[in-house]
């Protein structure tokens, strides 16, 4: 996860719509989601304090 100037975003909350669990980005803006089917990962939400929640979906 990076902001508009390329700075890594730490502690972004990544949730998978309709699924328990999720992930939080590290100091480098990286995160990992384990044991989740790809089709489910393609419908995700990203939340970060001070930013608008973004929902991501691929059809």
Calpha distance 43→59 (Å, rounded): 9
CA distances from 24 to 8, 18, 46, 47, 59 (A): 13, 17, 9, 10, 24
Nearest alpha-carbon partner for 29 in 58, 6, 56: 6
Which of 14-18, 20-24, 37-41 is least confident? 37-41
pLDDT at res. 17: 74
pLDDT at res. 43: 65
Q: Please write the tens of the pLDDT for every residue from 26-59.
A: 999 998 877 766 655 556 777 787 777 777 665 5
Domain ranges (residues) in the chain: 13-57
């Amino acid at each position: 996860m990076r902001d508009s100037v390329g700075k890594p975003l730490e502690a972004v909350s990544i949730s998978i719509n309709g699924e328990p669990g999720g992930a939080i980005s590290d100091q480098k803006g990286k995160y990992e989601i384990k044991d989740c089917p790809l089709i489910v990962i393609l419908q995700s939400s990203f939340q970060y304090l001070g930013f608008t929640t973004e929902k991501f979906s691929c059809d």
